[in-house]
Structure formats: C-alpha cells, structure tokens
Amino acid sequence: MSQVLLAYEKRIFYLGGICSTLLYLLQNLGVLSALWIICTIPFLISLMIVPVITYTMITKDCPKIDSFSFYLLQFCSINISLFTSLFAILLSLHLDNSISASWSSIYISLWYTFLIYFIVCMFLLPGLLTVQMKREAMLILFWGITGLITSILVPLCADFNWENDWVVLLPFSTACIVSSFIYIYVIVNDISRLGREGLFYAAILAGIIILFTELKEWTFMIIAIYLISDWILSEIEIHVSYQQLD
C-alpha cells in the first residue's frame, strides 16, 4: 500500500514541477501574460508534497528507524519544503515588481534551506559510507556545495551588476564536467548503472550551453524535458518493482 501511495505522491511532485516550468517558458517567450507568482503555484504544490513523500519513504524503507532519526528527517524535509517555497514566492514577487528588496535578502531563505540540506548530509553520509556507497555520498555533498556557491554568486552578480556574469555558471559547469567523467568511468565498468544520473548531467550541460547563448529562455524547455524524462524513468522503475513483488 505504501509503495502505491509513494508512486502517486511522486506523480503529483513531477506534475507540479513540469506545469510551472512550462508556464515559465511561455512567460519568457511572450506567449503567456501572467504574474510570475501565478506560474509558481504548481511548483509550490510540488514542494508541499515533499514532507509527505519523505514520511512515506521512511515508513516504507526504514520501518526500524529510531524516533530521533525519524523526527530529524521529518523536521528537515518540512523546513526544506517551507523555506524553498518561501524563496520561490519572494523571487516571483520580486520578478513581478511587487516587492523591492535586494537579491541577497531574497536568497536568505534559500541559504537556510542549504543549511538544512547539509544537516541531512551529516546524517546520511556515515550510513552511505558504511554500505560502500562512497561515490554517492561524495556526490550528495559535492552538489550541495556547488548549489550553495551558485546561490551566493547569483545575488551578488545581480546586486552589483557584474559584467562577467558567466562566472555564476562556473561552479555548476565544473561540477557537471567532473561528475560526468566519473559517471562515464562507472558505466564503462558497469553498464547497468546507466540511467537517471546520466540524464541529470546531460540536462545540466544542455542548460549551461543554452545559458551561454542568446536563447536563455529555452533553458526552461530543457528543465521540462528533463523532468518528463526523469518521470518516465521513475515510472519504469515503479513498474519493475511491482513485477518483482508479484
């Protein structure tokens, strides 16, 4: 029952993200004339489902988890959901010119989200290292640091009008190239590892390339394609797990 519930929760999460991304794309192309905050609503619904997904995954995969760990993970998932939602709302209102604030002040809620993310990392990493998942553990930490650095560079670039705004993309570009080479090495030795991780790196590389061109608005199309593709792969995994249960 929990597996079926988790599948539906993930579908709601994907649908919200895809809908908002497509609305952002239409907004940037001038096809749609709507407030950014309206376009963000489906994404906010996706974020609100994150604590529910976390709860379902814990009860499904970790039935013997101790109460402290259970409440810590729930606390972190709720905080990540709430403060990422707050960031999305503030950013949308700023783009709608409904509030006047520095970019740095808007990003404070996102920085708090990263703080909670690193708390989760500190909790998960020892377990991953114990079960010989060192690469996965390092990637979780590596991409968290990359995201944090980027979230600091973006508002600094916007507030101080940097001429070389391409610097903002350097952390993600570097992280993606390094991770891609490691991933290629992994799948050369074990082709069965080919899947969603490779799709993630391909989407980031495509997005970065587009951001360096005059077609920046099409970045949202890359995000939408990635979410749809990842959703399809997720559904395939769910179908395979159902077959194994039968």
pLDDT tens for each residue of 178-189 = 999 989 988 988
Contacts 24+ apart (CB under 8 A), 216-219: 217/25, 217/28, 217/29, 218/25
Question: What does the pLDDT average to over 218-236?
Answer: 93
Q: Give dist(CA 163, CA 131) in Å, integer.
A: 46
Q: Is the pLDDT of residue 24 over 90?
A: yes
Is 22 in contact with 214 (CB distance < 8 Å)? no
Q: Does residue 1 surpass a pLDDT of 60?
A: no
Q: Is the pLDDT of residue 244 over 70?
A: no
Give Cα 146 distance to the centre of its chain: 12
Choice between 8 and 160, residue whose per-residue pLDDT is larger:
160
Mean pLDDT for 115-122 is: 92
CA distance 76 to 11: 22
**Which tens digits make up the pLDDT trace of 163-179?**
888 899 899 899 999 99
* Per-residue pLDDT band at 240 (split at 50, 70, 90): confident
Query: Bigger pLDDT: 4 or 31?
Result: 31
| pLDDT over 70 at 242, yes or no | no
Secondary structure (DSSP) of 43-63: HHHHHHTHHHHHHHHHHHH-T
Mean of all residue pLDDT scores within the chain: 89
pLDDT at residue 112, as a whole number: 97
Q: Which amino acid is at 101?
A: A
pLDDT of residue 23: 95
Q: Is the pLDDT of residue 22 over 70?
A: yes
d(CA 122, CA 73): 11
How confident is the model at residue 155, as a pLDDT? 95
Model pTM?
Answer: 0.90
Which has the closest alpha carbon to 140: 160, 120, 159? 120
pLDDT greater than 80 at residue 19: yes
- Residues 52-102: pLDDT tens digits? 988 888 887 777 778 888 888 899 999 999 999 999 999 999 999 999 889
Residue 215 has pLDDT above 60, yes or no: yes
Both tokens assigned to 162: 């940097």
